Amino acid sequence: MDTDTRQFTTRFLDSLSSAPGLQMWLVRPLQTLLVTGEPVTLAALAARTGRTEAAIREALATMPDAEYDAAGRIIGFGLTFNPTPHRYETHGRTFYAWCALDALGFPAVLGRTAQVTSACRATGEPVRLTVTPNGPTDIEPPTAVVSIITPDRPTSVRSSFCNQVHFFVSADAAKGWLADHPDARVLPVADAYEAERPVIEEIIAADPSPDGC
C-alpha cells in the first residue's frame, strides 16, 4: 500500500475501534459456534469462553446488532444464518456475512477456507473468490475492489460500517457509489484484506476460550 492508503486504513481502524457494540473477546468464540450450523445458546457461549452466563448476557446487551431466533438463540453476528448479499460457504455449509470485510476476515479467524460470492453493489454482477486463513485467492474478476468507510461518529458496527462495505467488480463500477460517499474509498481485494489484518489479529488475541481455538 502507498502512504495515503495506509493513512486511510489507520483512520478506518481508529473509527472501527470507537464503534459501540463490538466486544472483541466474544467475536471468535461466537463465530466458532455459529459455523457449526446451529443457533448459539448462552450456555454454549459461556462454556466456550469460560465465563458465566450472566457475563455473556451482559456483553450481548452491548451488542445491539446481534441476531436471534424466536427461542432467543444467537444466529448472527458478522457471520449469520440470515441471507445477505455476501454468500459464505465453508465445510459444506452455507452462511452469509454482514459485509465484504467480514467475508474476507472470518476464514483467518476460524481457520477455515471459504468460498465467497457477492453481487457487485453497482452492477449486480457476481464477484467470486476463495478466502483461505492466509487471505483471498482466485478473485473473479481480478479487478474487484472493496469499499471501506471511516465515519467520524459510528453508531454501531453494522449500521456504520458493514452496511457500507461492499464488493464491486472494478474501481470504475464503484465511481457512482463513491460520489455519494465522500468519506469512503475502494481498495483492491488483497489490500482490503491487509487493511483488516490488525482487526483479525486483535480478535484472535482477545479470544478467552480455554482451548484457545
CB 169 within 8 A of CB 123: yes
Our answer to whether residue 99 is catalytic in this structure is yes
* Angle separating helix axes 189-206 and 24-34, nearest 10 degrees: 100
- Fill in the DSSP letter of residue 40: B
Catalytic residue among 162, 172, 211, 213: 162
Catalytic residue among 65, 102, 120, 207: 102
- Catalytic residue chosen out of the listed positions 65, 99, 120, 207: 99
Tell me if residue 213 is catalytic: no
120 counts as catalytic: no
Q: Which active-site residues does the annotation give?
A: 99, 102, 162
